[in-house]
Amino acid sequence: MRHAIIAASLAVLLTSATARAGEVRIACYSDGNECESTEILAARFMQANPDIKIAIDKMSFKAIQESLPVQLAAGQGPDIVRTTDFGPIMAYMLDLTPYVKDPAYWEANYGGTLGWMRRDANDHGIYGLMTQLTISAPLVNKTLFDQAGVAVPKAGATWDEWATAVKQVKEATKIVGGMAWDRSGARFAGPSISMGATYFAADGSPAVIDDGFKAMASRYVAWAKDGTVKGDIWSQAATGYRDAFDDFANGRIAVYLSGSWQLSRLEKTVGDGFDWVVGAEPCGRGGCTGMPGGAAFVALKHSKHPKDVGAFLDYLASAPVYAEWMVMTSNVPANVALQKKGLPYKLSKAGTAAIQQFGADAATLTPLAYKLQGDVMSRPIFGAVADRIAAVMAGQMTLDQAYARITSDVADAVAASKK
């Protein structure tokens, strides 16, 4: 009897082990339909590779951000994760170089963004595949501009010219706020770089506060005070990300500083409710730039099936599949060849014009914007900037106090990360 029980238990264990062999689990969140479209491609991949199973666990962005580092430290977690935050998980990333067919293809086509997942300049590993390249830019409610009889600022217009135009639209149309920016230090980074902020000292260490940063911060706070900017998006919370999408979709603001990841939401939500366009990147003495970014499928090194992980990401990275994926998700491709070639998006007229504008912006963003996005300390910098500028908007500190706090917050984060 005892032997029978042991035999039965072993049989159950073996069967479950066999069932799990070759299973690649992906923790995925969607900006629009990224997980769903990956499921379609995964089904096709599994047909061609019946010994590999791809399981996609859909979860929220916040759930991934908050639980993943803890899971990974405990030796748990998925094989692949979709994330925008590479710094905290760098120690757990799997170098796919031995598992992809042609590393040179990856380097040639995805080289610019592969660097975002690398530890330093000496690191040449392939740790993941960008599922999109996002570009921040002003989304403009053209109907409101037309109603106000104000022209949408053209390429080369400065931030001050944008602010003046937006204020005119606000006053003419009686909307609640002229423009709104997502509550995010990354969103603030584009305009501040345009105003001349450099974010790094000569030795490459973070140095956030300089004249360029102050020029943008003081403008932003002043705009929030006079209603040019809808400041409550920032001041409403003590910490964390908040977007202003609902305000834009409901016609409560004329300009929304967000980015290309909102495209499918815009298509679905706004539809033909009003005319909207993507404005040219506003300028300052530092250039005319937004911020690049985006989420990647990152491979994790505790995976028991690194070969399968490599095979699946290799499949997604191949030009025809990646092109189809980008069309399905209405995303700007991180693949340089596809960026140049252009893709046959199935979007509305406004959507098509928008994605063309985002694609064109990708090539003109300043190198500093790419460097900042890829820096290990970018997230702590963005967090400190958003929280402290928000505190100024809420009337809890002065700008000078905020500058001092941003500097000390970033210094604390650097010190903590070095221990």
Residue among 15 and 236 whose Cβ is closer to other proteins: 236
Residue among 89 and 332 whose Cβ is closer to other proteins: 89
Neighbours of 87 (CB within 10 A): 18
Q: What is the phi/psi pair of residue 190, to 5°?
A: -55, -60
Q: How far is the CB of 75 from other proteins (least distance, A)?
A: 9
The CA-based dihedral angle spanning residues 217, 222, 225, 226, taken in that order and rounded to the nearest 10 degrees? -140
Residue among 69 and 125 whose Cβ is closer to other proteins: 69
Q: Footprint of other proteins on this chain (CB under 8 A)?
A: 65-66, 69-70, 73-74, 85, 87-88, 232, 235-240, 242, 379-380, 382-383, 390-391, 393-397, 401, 405, 408, 413, 416-417, 419
Q: How far is the CB of 79 from other proteins (least distance, A)?
A: 20
Alpha helices in 30-115 (DSSP H): 34-48, 61-73, 103-114
Residue among 15 and 239 whose Cβ is closer to other proteins: 239
Contact 30, 263 (CB under 8 A): no
Q: How far is the CB of 394 from other proteins (least distance, A)?
A: 3
- Burial status of residue 110 (CB atoms within 10 A of its CB: 0-12, 13-18, 19 or more): buried
Q: What is the CA radius of gyration of the chain?
A: 23
Residue among 241 and 274 whose Cβ is closer to other proteins: 241
Q: How far is the CB of 183 from other proteins (least distance, A)?
A: 10
CA dist 84 and 131 (Å) reads 10
Q: How far is the CB of 194 from other proteins (least distance, A)?
A: 24
- Report CA torsion sign: 88, 92, 97, 101: negative
Q: How far separated are the first and last CA of the chain, in Å rounded?
A: 56
Q: Which two tokens stand for residue 68?
A: 């993943």
Q: How far is the CB of 160 from other proteins (least distance, A)?
A: 27
Residue among 360 and 394 whose Cβ is closer to other proteins: 394
